[in-house]
Amino acid sequence: MRSTRTTFIIMLFVVLAASGAYVWWYSTVQAASSQASSLLTQISNETQTKDRVAQARQALADLESQEQAVNNYFVGQSDVVPFIEKLTGIGTSLGTTVAVSSVAANSDSDTPTLTMILTVTGSFDHVMRTVGAIENAPYDLTITSLTLNSTGKNSWNASLGIVVGSGSPPATTTPATSP
């Protein structure tokens, strides 16, 4: 009987040791699982942050190209002479002479402008085509006055007052991207 009792006690210790080892192993696996879950959450958060940053950078790049496209419609302070040369070039290509009578900068408003008075000389058809080409030039341009006079047989003068945006308009909205 002693050997049965000894065997029982030994088996009881083996079972208790195995149970203890199992509990220790289970808690170790749970801790590792919890740590892995925490790391996965951190990785997911970092990935989302990285994606938002990439989207913000792309939106900024798109915005910069759009800003450049919008700025092309305005005549900067340093671009007045090339702008005047373009206007005279339009006249030359359409068979007229374009002369600049005056240029004045107006920076009192929110959007700075240039006020110009041009004189276009040539035949009636050519003068009107030149006025139309200037009016439809790819700039923030408004014709404020137009006076047309005949100076002789088949010779006309047009005095043209224009206002050209010389700076980009103030930003009214910001892009809806969150970093």
- The fold for domain 77-165 equals Alpha-Beta Plaits (3.30.70)
* pLDDT for the residue 165: 87
**Number of neighbours of residue 114 by Cβ within 10 angstroms:** 25
CA atoms within 13 A on the CB side of 13: 5
The C-alpha atoms of residue 167 and residue 66 are separated, in whole angstroms, by 15
Which of these, 98, 155, 87, lies nearest to 124 by C-alpha position?
Answer: 155
* pLDDT for the residue 176: 47
- Pairing label, strands 155-165, 97-106: unpaired
* pLDDT for the residue 79: 85
* pLDDT for the residue 2: 75
* pLDDT for the residue 168: 57
Q: What is the chain's pLDDT, residue by residue, as a tens digit (179 residues)?
A: 678 889 999 999 999 999 999 999 999 999 999 999 999 999 999 999 999 999 999 999 889 888 888 888 888 878 889 999 999 999 999 999 999 999 988 877 777 888 999 999 999 999 999 999 999 998 889 999 999 999 888 899 999 999 998 875 555 444 444 44
* pLDDT for the residue 110: 76
Q: Retrieve residue 16's tokens.
A: 């208790």
Handedness of CA 38, 43, 44, 48 (dihedral sign): positive
Q: Quickly tell me which residue has 């107006």 as its tokens.
A: 106
* pLDDT for the residue 128: 94
* pLDDT for the residue 179: 45
